[in-house]
Amino acid sequence: MPLNRPTICVLGCGTMGIAIIRGTLDSIAGATSGQSDSSQSSQLVSEQEEQEDLLRPGGFIACVSHKDSAAKLSKTLGDQVKVLHGAAGNVQGVSEADVVLLCTKPQIAKAVLSAPGIREALKDKLLVSICAGVTIEQLQSWTTPTTIVIRAMPNTPCKIREGMTVLSCGPNTDIQSMAFTTKIFSTLGRCRTLDEKHLDAVTALAGSGPAFACVMLEALADGGVMMGLPRDVATELAAQVLQGAARMVLTTGAHPAAIKDSVTTPGGCTIAGLLTMEDGRIRSTLARTIQEATTVASTLGRDKK
């Protein structure tokens, strides 16, 4: 399936759909600015840059259910995005697009894709689904044999281009479709590919993870407040601590335990705090949190009887 400055239609454009659109638009704006600067020093554009330019989205269409939601979305996204609503809007959006991003709730994914006109409009197009628990096999059965299906599991930090996305490709995915999808989500943060069997765990760890991390952040800040720090200072310190520790792991490749040990001195305050955490069984609690969230994620795409 050739992709040349493709138009993307976002079906069910809620929080994640908005995050993806905004992040991509910001990335395009940054790339355009960078190209204009580099063009002053060189008039030649490499074949790779030309290919990347062709894969850059040519436009966005955002689809929502209701008229009032469409009005709010138009104010949020501005005139760079075409906003449609209702069943007719979904059909129009999918028909006009080259790539369709399915961002609906998992429970209504089948109904949305099975609506009159949608299946036909998806013929020979790329469908990227972020619906947790909805399998490639299900998506393929609701579309057409020539529809290319890719599952993606992004998370909300995509909104500030600090996201984590994992992709899993259907059996008929071509190189260009994979390259385009990877490019889109790579502009929003980190992106990698895994077998579909891992996506429920990815949903729990990366998709739900920001919520779990914020609980830990809030708890650390509460401790600071209890010890006399102003709330805003405690929150800033806790947020920067988590961000800094995470960046150390990602940047250095060091095991988290090694970073922990480097901070822990004999008889110091760190080891005292660590033992208190162990008393609270924080390791098993967090691990079980991911286990339980994974179990629930695996049920989200099932038909409700």
Q: Is 169 annotated as a binding residue?
A: no
Q: Is 126 annotated as a binding residue?
A: no
Q: Is 12 annotated as a binding residue?
A: yes
Q: Is 117 annotated as a binding residue?
A: no
Q: Is 235 annotated as a binding residue?
A: no
Q: Is 11 annotated as a binding residue?
A: yes
Q: Is 16 annotated as a binding residue?
A: yes
HEC assignment per residue over the chain: CCCCCCEEEEECCCHHHHHHHHHHHHHHHHHHHHHHHHHCCCCCCCHHHHHHHHHCCCEEEEEECCHHHHHHHHHHHHHHEEEEEHHHHHHHHHHHCCEEEECCCHHHHHHHHHCCCHHHHCCCCEEEECCCCCCHHHHHHHCCCCCEEEEEECCHHHHHCCEEEEEEECCCCCHHHHHHHHHHHHCCEEEEECCHHHHHHHHHHHHCHHHHHHHHHHHHHHHHHHCCCCHHHHHHHHHHHHHHHHHHHHHHCCCHHHHHHHHCCCCCHHHHHHHHHHHCCHHHHHHHHHHHHHHHHCCCCCCCC
Binding residues, by number, are 11-16, 90
Binding residues for NADP(+), by number, are 11-16
Binding residues for NADPH, by number, are 90
